[in-house]
Amino acid sequence: MTPRGTPASASVLTVGVDVGGTSVRAGVVDGDGQVLDTARAPTPRTDAALEEAIASAVDELRTRHRVGAVGLALAGFVDAPRGLVRYAPHLSWRDAPVAERISARLDLPVVVEHDANAAALAERRYGAAAGSSVCVLIALGTGIGGALLLDGALFRGAHGVAPELGHLRVVPQGRSCPCGKRGCWERYCSGTALSATALEMISAGSTSSVLARESAQDPGRVTGQRVAAAAREGDPLARRAVQDMGRWLGEGLALVADVFDPDLVIVGGGVSASAPLFLDEAREHYARVVTGSGNRPLARIRTAQLGAASAVVGAATLARESVAA
């Protein structure tokens, strides 16, 4: 029974789904932003398979919970009011009516939101962004997602795609990016970038590392997660790769600060679980290279209080609000 005075929508359980470049992570979320149960699957490479993976994850959770709506969070250009995914560099959708398709498959209301926007809203409601006037969220995962909150409201730009921070070009003619450009920030600061940096160091002759031995057997084993784990274990090459990512994070944050002048930066996404390895390096580099260094207030830089669950919680919260609307 819903307690007297509590909106009925607050008692509705909803599912948030974080559709990443490597995995689909779904969670049942209650009205207090608590994740009650989870399901996970690899991210397929075709529209039909991806939509089936999402529906299957939700169906798995529905065997254990009664849910009223679903929210999808993903990296890409999202027309949130119409549930369209116009472009997603790490996913197969192009101008796809994703909300409509998955709603028909599940027979539930479905909303779609940019993953960083969803995470920022969750942190504003339940986490680290409470009370911030100008907050930038940087979601580090397969790539980089960005969100901007102005007095708690999302800034989407004129066409709903701002701020696409991960594709700021930081190295002209640098590493190629799935978006079609070269030298994007996320190619140097993300889980994918961490793997690429370690492999480049190995190719340059850094052989005194367990990662070098693993790469000789199978370069695919040197994932971002594996590099972070090796860094925690003290591997010298892995630690250098993580420090390099920290410097690139600081470099990009200095650009972001020059444009938005935030009072708070939240670092979230799956890679933020390894923040103790690189966040101090990022803070120090940001403070050195930001315009007016030493003569201006600096943004506080914090990790997401909700951790890697931020996008799931935010998407589920938006789904709950859609039921109430």
pLDDT in tens, 7-62: 555 679 999 999 988 899 999 999 999 999 999 999 999 999 999 999 999 999 99
Would you say residue 288 has pLDDT above 50? Answer: yes
| 288 vs 282: CA distance, rounded Å | 10
Q: What mean pLDDT do residues 86-91 have?
A: 89
Q: What mean pLDDT do residues 141-167 have?
A: 92
Would you say residue 250 has pLDDT above 70? Answer: yes
What is the pLDDT, as a whole number, of residue 6? Answer: 45
CA dihedral 196, 198, 203, 204 (to 10 degrees): 120
Q: Which long-range contacts (CB under 8 A, 24 or more apart) does 258-263 make?
A: 258/290, 258/291, 260/134, 260/136, 260/148, 260/163, 261/134, 261/299, 262/132, 262/134, 262/135, 262/136, 262/148, 262/299, 263/132, 263/133, 263/134, 263/135, 263/297, 263/299, 263/300
* Residue 10 φ/ψ, nearest 5 degrees: -65, -25
Helices (H) and strands (E) in the chain, counts: 9, 13
Would you say residue 4 has pLDDT above 50? Answer: no
Would you say residue 107 has pLDDT above 90? Answer: yes
H-helix or E-strand containing 231?
A: helix 224-232
Mean pLDDT, the chain, integer: 93
**pLDDT tens string 171-223:** 999 999 989 999 999 999 999 999 999 999 999 987 778 999 999 999 999 99
CB 305 within 8 A of CB 123: yes
Q: Which amino acid is at 155?
A: F
Placement of tokens 């997660």 in the chain: 225
Please give the C-alpha separations between residue 172 and each of 7, 144, 181, in angstroms, as whole numbers.
Answer: 52, 18, 9
What is the pLDDT, as a whole number, of residue 267? Answer: 97
DSSP reduced 3-state for 56: helix
Placement of tokens 């969220």 in the chain: 137
Would you say residue 310 has pLDDT above 90? Answer: yes
Higher pLDDT, 288 or 207: 288
* Residue 79 φ/ψ, nearest 5 degrees: -95, 85
Q: What mean pLDDT do residues 88-98 have?
A: 92
Higher pLDDT, 3 or 233: 233
